[in-house]
Homo-oligomer: A and B are copies of this chain.
Amino acid sequence: MSGHQLAMALRRAYLAIHRQTNDALVPTGVTADQFVVLCELAQGASKTQRELVDRTASDSNTLRAMLVLLERRGLVQRRPHPTDGRAWSVALTAQGRRTFQKLWRRSDKLRMKLVEHLDQDSLRHFIALLSDLVQRLGDGAGKSRRPVGAAAMGIQSSN
C-alpha cells in the first residue's frame, strides 16, 4: 500500500463520478463542472467569483469562462457587488433555478449510488479522510494563485 495507489484510487473514483455526471446531464447541455458551480449558487445567497473559486476548487480564469457560458445561456446573472467595486455578485436567474432543479433530479440516482451501503458514520469518516488529505496537501502549497481564502474550508449548507 502506497501513496501512489491512493492517488490512483482517487483518480479512478473522481473520474468515474465526473463521467457519470456528465452522462446524466448531457441532454441538458450542462457539464459536470458547470453543475458544480450551479450547485454552489443554488445554496441561498449570491456569491462573488472569489467565493465560487474557493468553494468549487476551480481556477479563477476557468471559473470566469464557465460563468460566461452560463450567462450566455441565461442561467446566471452577474451584477456589480453592492459594497465592493472590484467584485461581481453572481446569482442564478429564475431560469437558472428551474434548470438547476432539473439537473439535481437528473443526478439524483447517481448521488444515491454514491452513498449506498454507507451508514452516516462511514460516510462522515470517508469525507473526513478526504478533507484531511486536502488539508495536508494544502499546507505545503505550491505557487497557487489562491492565497487560501476563508471560504475554502468546508462550511456547507445541508442541501
Q: Name A's B-contacting residues (CB within 8 A).
A: 1-21, 23-24, 36, 39, 57, 109-117, 120, 122-124, 126-127, 129-134, 136-138, 140, 142-144, 154, 156, 158-159
| Min CB–CB distance A70 → chain B (angstroms) | 18
Known: A2-B115, A11-B57. A19 touches B123 (CB 8 A): no
Known pairs A9-B130, A117-B136. 7 more at Cβ < 8 A? A6-B126, A6-B130, A11-B36, A11-B57, A12-B131, A16-B133, A19-B142
- Complex contacts, A140 vs chain B, CB 8 Å: 109, 113
The answer to whether A23 touches B156, judged by C-beta atoms less than 8 angstroms apart, is: no
Least Cβ–Cβ distance between A22 and chain B, in angstroms? 9
Chain B positions within 8 Å of A16 at CB level: 57, 133-134, 137-138
Within 8 Å CB of A17, what residues of B?
7, 10-11, 137
Please state if A136 and B116 are interface contacts (CB–CB under 8 Å): yes
Chain B residues closer than 8 Å to A114, beta-carbon distance:
3, 6-7, 133, 136-137
A3-B112, A159-B4 are known contacts. Are A9 and B131 too (CB-CB below 8 A)? yes
Which residue of the partner chain B has the closest CB to A128?
B9
Q: Pick the contact of A10 from B14, B20, B113, B154 — CB < 8 Å?
A: B14
CB neighbours (8 Å) of A23 from chain B are: 142-143
In angstroms, how far is the closest chain B Cβ from the Cβ of A60?
A: 13
